[in-house]
Structure 1
Amino acid sequence: MPELPEVETTRRGIAPHLEGRSVAGVTVRQPKLRWPVPDHLAQTLCGQQIRTVARRAKYLLIECETGTLIIHLGMSGSLRLIDGALPAAKHDHVDIQLDNGCALRLTDPRRFGSVLWQREEDEEHPLLQQLGPEPFDTIFNGKRLYQMSRGKRQAVKLFIMDNRTVVGVGNIYANEALFQAGIDPRRAAGRISQARYHLLAEKIQQILRRAIEQGGTTLKDFVGGDGKPGYFQQQLHVYGRGGEECDQCGSMLQQVVLGQRATVFCPECQR
């Protein structure tokens, strides 16, 4: 699944080509995504100028003159800038044609992505209302993690993957951040000290920044807005390496399931 670094990589790739351009047309080949593509999307978007391309958590927000297009890439989706005349393939579900002949194309084999519209005068979309801070916001720090975790018995990995705690810490990056902070992912969130949470917050930020710089992590389906894969996979210490040697101490990495997600850790380095 594209996580925050992959979505931010996509945003950075497409933003310079979209901002300031006008929408010349919209083609919806498959409206049945995770939520139905609005019937009025083509009529609403045509002729509008794109002001900015932003991101909130894993949602891309394409701000236009009368509202915002909200795009989620789901499990395997990708956005690419293409020549508008390029024929569509089987899983190319939505095209946003631009006034320069290019198009923004959503490809989504599993159809768990979404393309929604939020009018400018409406309140914040329900999908965005309950989200916690971005990992790079000033309010996200070890003190916040410590305060929010008091009394919680859930595993710390699940705690930091909760979008109400902080957005964008998906499975890959939660594994890696906990390894680098030396914290056992199974440990109860409420039994971790503030000092250790300070280190964990720093590692989350460092790892996400590095992943963005590397273009994200390509494990199966993801490519960025330029059609290129991400390279952070080459720097993974634990994710996907269960049963292999820890590259820090040489012990065998263990794999368990937490919240139905594969969790890999070093029993010696993480306590």
Structure 2
Amino acid sequence: MDFTWIELAVIIACLSAAGALTGLLAGVFGVGGGAVVVPILYEFFRMLGMPEDIRMPFCVGTSLAVIIPTSIQSFRTHFAHKAVDSSILRIWAVPAVLGVIAGGIIARYAPQEVFKGVFTVVAALSAFRLLFGKESWRLASEMPGRAVMRLYGFVIGILSALMGIGGGQLSSMFMTVYGRSIHQAVATSSGLGILISIPGALGYIYAGWPRAAQYPELAMIQPPFALGYISLIGVALLVPASIVTAPIGARLAHRLAKRRLELAFGLFLLLVSARFLVSFW
């Protein structure tokens, strides 16, 4: 598909802006920003004429690759503020990585409807939590036992791998309903993003390598422009801005009352859920 210079400039500007927003969200909410990156990449790849049966996996894989440096930057800033609960990360580390591996295996064989379905449901639930959640919504004042923690870590890993997120939305929600402060939940979730995004990105390289070979006419999904289900063009445009804004968002997280941001992010997730829901028909 041919683009004019103006259209290319608009695409580059939109992806760079998405990268900046991704970094900001990673810092403020402890999320990797995949909830922003995936829908934007979906429209970007649609404009480029990428076949629908591989479009969503490419969005998810590219998002996980973008989350790697974003999560690292966010985690370093939160860790410097001594807000990270390392004991929770140690419990979640192995089961979350195992969940990501399982998600990568599913990604190799699953139809694109699976990715859309998981993203739509989890994004809608996250939007509900952000829009209507209250501080009083708690299951207990202490974190559950190790068995429950490990099981939840595994579930976070699978869902994150299929959605292209760093798991921050899911882990933050879990920690807050068990009595942890939102600031500690956000900080700890930023570390989980590192544990999920690195094996997740490697899994999508593995999952997408044979599928990309089925479309030799599309140079954009072949090396050197892509590795498996990861678009190197998308990564190159999204990552620089996200690295710059992630520490800014992390610093803001310790200074701001985030209710307005939660409302805005919740509405965005609701719109994204509706967009993917409509795409089923």
TM-score relative to the length of structure 1: 0.26
Which structure is larger by alpha-carbon Rg, 1 or 2? 1
Structure scoring higher RCO (CA < 8 A, sep ≥ 6) equals 2
Q: Which one has a larger percent strand, Structure 1 or Structure 2? A: 1
